[in-house]
């Protein structure tokens, strides 16, 4: 476990520092938002662009990664919707937020740093296959579910507009697309440009983790904690077990790809869970609490999982 702790403790230590910073007067909400924007719009795209240009990862793209991860994730989604309705008696919008908290992974602020720390740039390749579709697909689904709950009808036109806007404005998707085009055309990078990208890429890990902690510090533990604990348990245990089972027995994945898709499913809930709930004013406190609980629980579950997968 010592090698595992050397990976996990610094990662969650930086998140802890972010929590302390977020609760201090040094990082008010505006400062936290600014740091998060730097990570999402500058640092992470630079790291992904660098990885693609240097390794040309999609020359041997394995679409089984997509089928394994998203097939199992949809099973969790449907099961969580049913659990929310028949066990907790949740209404439409509440069910949507409950299901999202049960299966929407923090692929960017935590996934990228943790996978990079564990497997290096090689591990980012299968992760990029997942995150290219992750927010675009699932956020659109949950916006539609919330619209259905509020209006009683499917807002397909608004969902299509949302999907299109997500494609052209999502910095991760843009970085991957530009990186693929750059690598395909065989374009080089001037020395000073390469140095800038290297510095931004190297800043990604600490900045992303600190920003995540500072953002989590804004969420008080409130609402129905039983619901939040259930979401966290499904997210940290059920989701990765189903993804591992599908990836291991139904699809042809390499050892590294199997490890990365499983770890991605085991990540705590993403901040989008709270943002979607907040935008509709439904299930907000419980959504925020589930993120705090799943991130805290992830210290243990991710340590065990990395010990099993990184051998």
**In angstroms, rounded to a whole number, what is the distance separating the alpha carbons of residues 135 and 131?**
7
Q: How many other C-beta atoms lie within 10 A of the C-beta of residue 206?
A: 17
Specify the pLDDT at position 46. Answer: 87
The domain locations on the chain are 2-55+62-309
101-127 mean pLDDT: 90
Q: Is the pLDDT of residue 230 over 90?
A: yes
**In angstroms, rounded to a whole number, what is the distance separating the alpha carbons of residues 68 and 84?**
24
Cβ neighbours for 35, distance < 8 A, ≥ 6 positions apart:
27, 207, 210, 211, 214
In sequence order, the β-bridge partners of residue 105 are 269
Residue pLDDT, tens place only, 154-212: 455 665 665 566 566 667 778 878 888 887 787 777 788 889 988 988 888 888 889 88
**In angstroms, rounded to a whole number, what is the distance separating the alpha carbons of residues 268 and 140?**
20
Q: Is the pLDDT of residue 141 over 90?
A: no
Specify the pLDDT at position 153. Answer: 47
CB 98 within 8 A of CB 90: yes
Residue pLDDT, tens place only, 8-27: 888 899 999 999 998 888 88
212-241 mean pLDDT: 89
Q: Is the pLDDT of residue 247 over 50?
A: yes
CATH number assigned to the domain with residue range 2-55+62-309, chosen from the 4 options 2.40.50.140, 1.20.1530.20, 3.40.50.2300, 3.40.50.300: 1.20.1530.20
CB 218 within 8 A of CB 29: yes
Give the 3-state secondary structure of residue 105: strand
């Amino acid at each position: 476990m010592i090698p595992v702790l050397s990976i996990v403790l610094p990662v969650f230590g930086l998140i802890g520092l972010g929590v302390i910073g977020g609760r201090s007067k040094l990082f008010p909400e505006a400062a936290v938002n600014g740091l998060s924007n730097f990570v999402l719009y500058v640092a992470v795209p630079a790291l992904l662009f660098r990885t693609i240009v240097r390794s040309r990862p999609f020359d041997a793209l394995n679409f089984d990664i997509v089928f394994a991860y998203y097939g199992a994730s949809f099973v969790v989604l449907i099961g969580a919707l049913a659990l929310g309705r028949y066990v907790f008696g949740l209404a439409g919008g509440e069910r949507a937020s409950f299901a999202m908290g049960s299966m929407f992974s923090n692929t960017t602020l935590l996934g990228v740093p943790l996978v990079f720390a564990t497997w290096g740039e090689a591990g980012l390749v299968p992760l990029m296959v997942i995150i290219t579709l992750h927010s675009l697909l699932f956020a659109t689904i949950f916006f539609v579910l919330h619209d259905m709950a509020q209006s009683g009808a499917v807002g397909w036109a608004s969902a299509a507009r949302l999907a299109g806007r997500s494609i052209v404005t999502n910095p991760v998707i843009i970085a991957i697309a530009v990186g693929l085009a750059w690598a395909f055309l065989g374009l080089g990078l001037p020395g000073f440009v390469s140095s800038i990208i290297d510095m931004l890429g190297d800043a990604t890990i600490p900045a992303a983790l600190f920003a995540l902690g500072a953002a989590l510090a804004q969420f008080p533990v409130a609402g129905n904690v039983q619901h939040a604990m259930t979401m966290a348990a499904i997210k940290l245990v059920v989701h990765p077990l189903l993804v591992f089972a599908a990836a291991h027995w139904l699809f042809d994945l390499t050892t590294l790809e199997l490890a990365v898709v499983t770890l991605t499913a085991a990540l705590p809930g993403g901040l989008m869970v709270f943002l979607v709930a907040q935008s509709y004013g439904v299930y907000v406190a419980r959504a925020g609490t589930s993120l705090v609980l799943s991130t805290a629980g992830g210290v243990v579950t991710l340590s065990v999982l990395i010990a099993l997968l990184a051998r």
